[in-house]
A and B are shown apart, each in its own frame.
Chain A
Amino acid sequence: MDERDLMSIVESILFVSGEPVDAKEIAQLLKMDIRSVRKLMKKMISTFDFERRGLQIIMANDTFQLATRPEHSTYIETYIGQERTKGISQAGLETLAVIAYRQPVTKSEIESIRGVKCDYVINSLINRGLIQEAGRMDAPGRPILYCTTDLFLRSFGLTSLEELPPLDEISK
């Protein structure tokens, strides 16, 4: 099997799955080592981009998913006759930013940065699947730690946390 055969197989798997497929799963299926899978997927992503296919392969934390391109959103929305779901609130975005850049982080740390209570907004971010609990801090009261999810990366077009736009750090 040459590379094009492998890509063809992976494409059909991504289609059937719909959801993100882990690089490990692909490696197992194709009896390849994980490094070759990552190399193959990188090539596949750039092939899709180069050929200006209507679908793209979204990479987030070593998972791969077929999706439409944001450039086509106006046509797709007209076709399905539906507006986009409401975006995240200002409070939600601020909280998400704190969690994204400071994770894993406790609720009280978030609240001290934002200067307001964050119970409600944290719950709604969990319900949207953008953040999740990440164990507990080894401190009095063992407070819950929060971190972002793979869905967060995909929703914001990031392949990993390293791709977050740099913060204008405070000069100390």
Chain B
Amino acid sequence: MSYIVKIDQFEGPLDLLLHLISKSKVRIEDVSITQITEQYLEALDSLEQFNIEIASEFLVMAATLLHIKSCMLIPKTKPSLENDEDNDPGQELITRLKEYKMFKEAGAKLRERERYFSGVFYKHPEKILAEFDREVFPEHINAELLKEIFIQLINIKKNNVEQKLETKLYEIERDTVTIQEKASLILDILDKKNEFTFFSIFDQHHSHLDIIITFLALLELLKENKLDVWQNTVYGDIRIKRRINYG
């Protein structure tokens, strides 16, 4: 009788041997080497795919079994019982099988324990262990102080909103300042004075926009050859004079 054995369902040749022994329902000590060798070789034969890496270990066992079988055929030269026990390869294999079976069963017991205790959960260490920094939590902080900080923040926000409203009003004003207006202002001054400086046009209340538009008007008049300008130093004041040939 033969049956198909899938080699990768066994954890090695010893596992396969244990399986064959349990199939034939004998104790390991009472196993017939001849019979088990036959079954083992049959199992190897039934392998459909021959993966040399896995199979080599199974082949070593096959060789061992055949060796034991042949040893049993040769008449014993030393009748001493003690020596017999030590050198009997059959006995050695049985010892190995028993030892393997013991650990296989221990592994099965461990599996039960693992399954049960894998349902135990642990907590990760608190982050503060790595990042604890006292400066992040100053000791003088209290609820009262938090309230004050919050009120301050609210006020800042309110002020920002109001400032934005003011800016909008100012923007409307921008439309009233034009280059043409500023150009005629400059020409008006030149009608009264022969020469004047750029900064003298402005008092303290002039905005940046005012100054810029006036400067653009100045450039415009310069382009139209209506006046002459001098600047003695960088960022210095600009002297403005009506162009003489223009009359």
Kindly report which residue of chain B lies nearest to residue A14, judged by CB atoms.
B123
CB distance from B21 to the nearest CB of A (A): 14
Q: Is the CB of A87 within 8 A of B121?
A: no
Q: Which of B103, B109, B114, B122 lies in contact with A88, CB distance below 8 A?
A: B114
A83 to B169, CA, bound (A): 65
Complex formed: what's the CA distance from A145 to B50 in Å?
A: 34
B226 beta carbon closer than 8 Å to chain A = no
Interface residues, chain B, with chain A CB atoms under 8 Å away:
11-15, 57, 61, 95-96, 98-100, 102-111, 113-126, 128-129
Which of the candidate stretches A39-47, A112-120, A134-142 sits at the interface with the other chain? A112-120
Q: Complex formed: what's the CA distance from A91 to B11 in Å?
A: 6
Q: Please name the 8 residue pairs, one residue from A and one from B, whose CB atoms are nearest each other, closest first.
A: A73-B119, A116-B12, A93-B107, A97-B106, A115-B14, A18-B125, A157-B117, A97-B107
Task: A91 to B115: give the CA distance in the assembly, Å.
Answer: 16
Q: What is the size category of the interface that chain A forms with chain B?
A: 35 or more
**Could you say which of A69, A88, A170 contacts B99, with CB atoms under 8 Å apart?**
A170
CA of A19 to CA of B125, assembled, Å: 6
Q: Tell whether A70 pairs with B116 under 8 Å between CB atoms, given A17-B125, A97-B110, A156-B110.
A: yes
A76–B121 CB distance below 8 A: yes
Q: Shortest beta-carbon distance, A117 to chain B, in Å?
A: 7
Q: Which A20-67 residues have a C-beta within 8 angstroms of B?
A: 58, 65-67
B interface secondary structure, majority: helix
Say how far A153's CB is from chain B's closest CB, in angstroms: 10
User: How far, in whole Å, are A87 and B115 apart by their CA atoms in the complex?
Assistant: 7
CA distance A100 to B11 in the complex (A): 19
Distance in Å: Cβ of B86 to nearest Cβ of chain A: 12
Residue A127 at the B interface, CB < 8 A? Answer: no
Contact, CB under 8 Å: B57 / A117:
yes
A115 partner, pick from B95, B100, B102, B117, beta carbons under 8 A? B100
Contact check, B57 vs A116: say whether CB atoms are below 8 A apart. yes
CB-based contact A98/B125 at 8 Å: no
Q: List 7 A-B contacts (CB under 8 A).
A: A15-B123, A96-B107, A115-B14, A116-B13, A154-B120, A156-B113, A169-B102
Say whether B117 contacts A70, CB under 8 Å: yes
Q: Tell me how far the C-beta of A15 lies from the nearest C-beta in chain B, rounded to whole angstroms.
A: 7
Q: Could you say which of B106, B114, B124, B126 has the most chain A C-beta atoms within 10 Å of its C-beta?
A: B106
Residues of A within 8 A of B13 (CB): 115-116
User: Is there an interface contact between B123 and A101, defined as CB atoms closer than 8 Å?
Assistant: no
Residue of chain B at shortest CB distance from A169 = B102
For the complex formed, measure the closest distance between the CB of A140 and the CB atoms of chain B, giving whole angstroms.
Answer: 22
Q: Is A1 an interface residue (CB 8 A)?
A: no
Does any Cβ of B come within 8 Å of A8's Cβ? no
Contact of B123 among A18, A73, A96, A156 (CB under 8 A): A18
Assuming A113-B99, A113-B103, is B111 touching A76 (CB within 8 A)? no
Asked if residues B116 and A114 are in contact (CB atoms below 8 Å), the reply is no
Residues of A within 8 A of B129 (CB): 16-17
Instruction: List CB contacts (< 8 Å) of A75-100 with chain B.
Output: 76-77, 84-85, 87-88, 90-91, 93-94, 96-98, 100
Q: Report how far A61 CA is from B27 CA in the complex, Å.
A: 39
- Say whether B12 contacts A155, CB under 8 Å: no
> Is the CB–CB distance between B120 and A93 below 8 Å?
no
Q: A115-B14, A168-B102 are in contact. Are A94 and B107 (CB under 8 A)?
A: yes
CB distance from B18 to the nearest CB of A (A): 10
With A and B bound together, what is the CA distance between A84 and B119 in angstroms? 8
Question: Residues of B contacting A67 with CB < 8 Å?
Answer: 120-122
Q: A87-B114, A94-B103, A97-B103 are in contact. Are A170 and B98 (CB under 8 A)?
A: yes
Q: Is the CB of B105 within 8 A of A168?
A: yes
Q: In angstroms, how far is the closest chain A Cβ from the Cβ of B60?
A: 8
Q: Are B104 and A94 in contact (CB under 8 A)?
A: yes
Q: How far is the CB of A74 from chain B (nearest CB, A)?
A: 8
Q: How far is the CA of A117 from the CA of B114 in the complex (A)?
A: 24
CB-defined contacts of B116 to chain A, threshold 8 Å: 70, 157
